[in-house]
Amino acid sequence: MAETKGKRMKVIIIGAGPAGLSCGYELVKAGVEVEVYEASPYVGGMARSFDLWGQRVDMGPHRFFSKEKHINEFFTTLVKDDYTLVNRMTRIYYRNRFFYYPIKLFNVLRNLPPFTIVSILWEFLRIQMFPYKNPTTFEEWVSNRFGRKLFEIFFKHYSEKLWGIPCSKIDADWAAQRIKSLSLWEAVISAIFGNKGNKHKTLLDQFAYPNLGTGTLYERAADFIRSHGGKVNLQSPVKKVMQDAGSGMQDAGCGMQDAGSGMQDAGSGMQDAGCGITGIELMDGTVVKADYVVSTMPLTLLVKGLKDVPADVAAAAEKLYFRNTILVYLEVDSMELFADNWIYVHSPEVKHGRITNFRNWSRQINRDKKTTILCMEFWAFDEDEIWKDKDENIAELAKKEIHLLKLVPPETKILNTFVLKVPRCYPVYETGYQVNLKKVENYLDTVPSLIPIGRYGAFKYNNQDHSILMGILAADKITQGLDTDLWKINTDVEYQEEARIKDVLIQ
Ligand SMILES: Cc1cc2nc3c(=O)[nH]c(=O)nc-3n(C[C@H](O)[C@H](O)[C@H](O)COP(=O)(O)OP(=O)(O)OC[C@H]3O[C@@H](n4cnc5c(N)ncnc54)[C@H](O)[C@@H]3O)c2cc1C
C-alpha cells in the first residue's frame, strides 16, 4: 500500500476525463486513496458518450488507437470484448469531390483536372530543389513534403478553419504530430507497388470502438475507481489548488527548492515544506487536503489560481490560448447517407470542417433506430459571432451547409437538431508557443506535488491515448517516485498507425 510517513497516501485528481481517470485507475490499483473532482455531471471529458434521440453519440469522431502496451491494456482490461473492429473509412470533401484520407494517389489523379496535376508535380519538384530550410511553420513543413499545390488543396483550408489563424502562423509541431512523415515520393511508390504481401490490417485501416461509444472506457474506469474505494465526485468544479504559506520569494514560487529551510513537506517527501501543495479549494469554498494534486483542468486557469507566480510566468501563461468547438447534431430521417465514419470538409465555401456519421461506427449505438445522427463541427474563438450566436441560428446554418454539400438530399427530413458548445477544445500551437509553454512548464516543475497532465491540462494536442499515457505515467511517478518528464509526452513523434492491429489489441 502506498504510504507517506506511515499514513496512506492521498491524491486528488482534478477532472474525470481520460487523463484523470486513467491516473485514478492506476493509483487505486496501487492502494492509494483517490478523490476525483469533476466539474460537469459526466465522466469522460471530451471523450464522453451520451444518449441523444434514443441513440448513443460521442463528442465528434473518437477513434481510439495506440501501439503502446500500457494504453492498450487499459482499454482491453476495461472494455473487455465489448468492442467492434471498425473498418475505417474517411474522406476529404473538396470542391464537390471526395478524396480518400489517407490520400490515395490514383484517387487524387482521377479527381483532379490535368492542369492541376501538372501544377502539383511542378510544385513538388520545385520544393525538392528549393526546400524551406528548418521549416518552423505548418505551411513550410507540409510544403516541403508534398509541394505547395498539394498543401493548398489538402491542408490549407481545413487547417485554417480549425485553428482560425493562417497556416504561416501555425507551428510545425502540429504537422509533425499529426501527419505521417510520408512524402509524395513514398505515396507514389506505395500507389504503384501497393502493400504487397502484407495482408494484415494496420491501425490505419481498422480501429477498436467500444460498442456503446468511446465513453464506455471512462465510465468503466470511474466504476473501477469507486469499487476500489476511490471517490469520483461529479458537479464539483475546482476553483484552485491550495498551497502552504508562500516562501515570500518571487523568483520560483511556492515550490522553490529552498535548500536552506531543511524542512520536509509531509506529503511530497520533497524539501521546502511550507510551500508545497496542500490540496484544493472547490468553487463552493470547500477545502480538501491531499498529498498530491494531479490536475487536468486548463493549464492557464491552473496557473492563475496559484499564488506567488512570477510575473513573467503569469504573462507567458496569458499568451497560451485555446480554440473552441461547436458540435451540431442532426437527426436525419434516413439510414443511408454516406459510408464514411467521418468526412473532412475542406471546401472553403462552408464554415464547418468535419462531419461524423454515427450510423457507421457500431451497430449498438444506433439501437435499432431508423434515423441517422450526424455531427458537424464548427470552430471558433470566444469573440467570434458564431460562438456568441443562439443555438437555433447555428443549427439553421448547419442545415443549410449540409444541403449545400448535398450530403443530405433536399427531400430528406432533418427531424431534430442539438447544439453543444465545447470551450477550450484545442490548445493553439501558434508559432513560438513553445517559448511560453516552456516557461510555464519550468515553473510548475518547481511546485512540489502538483502534476499537470492532459489535453488542456498540459497544453498538448492530445488524443485519448496520449492523455491515458500521461495518466498512467503520472500515477507511476507518484507511487514509484519516478522522475518521468510528463511534458515530453506527445512531443516526440513516433508514428503509431503502421502497427498491425492484431499485434497490439486483439488477443
Ligand atoms: C471533436 C473532437 C474529436 C476528437 N477525436 C478524437 C479521436 O478521434 N481520437 C482520439 O483519441 N481523441 C480524439 N479527441 C480528443 C480526446 O477527446 C481528448 O484527447 C481527451 O478527451 C483528452 O482527455 P483529458 O482527460 O486530457 O481532457 P478532457 O477530456 O478535456 O477532460 C478534462 C476534464 O476535466 C474537467 N475539468 C476542467 N476544469 C475543471 C475544474 N476546474 N474542476 C473540475 N473538473 C474540471 C472537464 O470537465 C473534463 O471532464 C477528440 C476531441 C474532440 C473535441
Report which of 74, 54, 50, 7 is spatially closest to residue 467, judged by C-alpha positions.
74
> What pLDDT shows up at residue 107?
87
CB of 425 sitting under 6 A from ligand 1 = yes
- Name the band, by pLDDT with cuts 50, 70 and 90, for residue 176: confident
In angstroms, what is the span from residue 80 Cα to ligand 1's centroid?
22
Nearest atom (ligand 1) to Cα of 239: 41
pLDDT tops 90 at residue 250:
no
CB of 60 sitting under 6 A from ligand 1 = yes
Task: Look at ligand 1, atom 23, and give the residue with the nearest C-alpha.
Answer: 18
Mean pLDDT computed over 465-488: 95
| pLDDT, tens digit, 9 for 90 and up, residues 304-314 | 999 999 999 99
Question: Domain locations in the chain?
Answer: 3-81+211-320+430-488, 103-193, 322-427
pLDDT tops 80 at residue 278:
yes
Distant-in-sequence, close-in-space partners of 412: CB < 8 Å, separation ≥ 6: 332, 333, 334
Query: Residue holding cell 500500500?
Result: 1
CB of 454 sitting under 6 A from ligand 1 = yes
CB of 479 sitting under 6 A from ligand 1 = no
> In whole angstroms, what is the distance from residue 2 CA to residue 19 CA?
21
CB of 47 sitting under 6 A from ligand 1 = yes
> What pLDDT shows up at residue 181?
53
In angstroms, what is the span from residue 46 Cα to ligand 1's centroid?
3
Burial 281-296 (b: 16+ CB within 10 A, else e): bbeeeeebebbbbbbb
pLDDT tops 90 at residue 5:
no
In angstroms, what is the span from residue 19 Cα to ligand 1's centroid?
8
Q: Indicate the CATH number of 3-81+211-320+430-488 among 3.40.470.10, 1.10.3260.10, 3.50.50.60, 3.20.20.70.
A: 3.50.50.60
pLDDT tops 60 at residue 182:
no
> What pLDDT shows up at residue 273?
33
In angstroms, what is the span from residue 255 Cα to ligand 1's centroid?
28
Among 120-134, 436-450, 473-487, 490-504, the least confident range: 490-504
Q: Which three cell numbers stand for residue 87?
A: 473498418
Task: Look at ligand 1, atom 39, and give the residue with the nearest C-alpha.
Answer: 297
| pLDDT, tens digit, 9 for 90 and up, residues 404-441 | 999 999 999 999 999 999 999 999 999 999 999 999 99
What's the 3-state SS for 81-102? CCEEEEECCEEEEECCEEEECC
In angstroms, what is the span from residue 107 Cα to ligand 1's centroid?
34
Query: Residue holding cell 458548445?
Result: 421
209, β-bridge pairs: 84
Please state, rounded to an integer, the average pLDDT across all residues of the chain. 88
Q: Is 0.75 surpassed by the pTM of this model?
A: yes
| pLDDT, tens digit, 9 for 90 and up, residues 338-378 | 999 999 999 999 999 999 999 999 999 999 999 999 999 99
- Name the band, by pLDDT with cuts 50, 70 and 90, for residue 268: very low
CB of 267 sitting under 6 A from ligand 1 = no
**Domain at 322-427, CATH class:** alpha beta
Task: Look at ligand 1, atom 34, and give the residue with the nearest C-alpha.
Answer: 15
> What pLDDT shows up at residue 327?
98
Nearest atom (ligand 1) to Cα of 238: 42
Q: How many other CB atoms are there within 10 angstroms of residue 437's CB atom?
A: 21
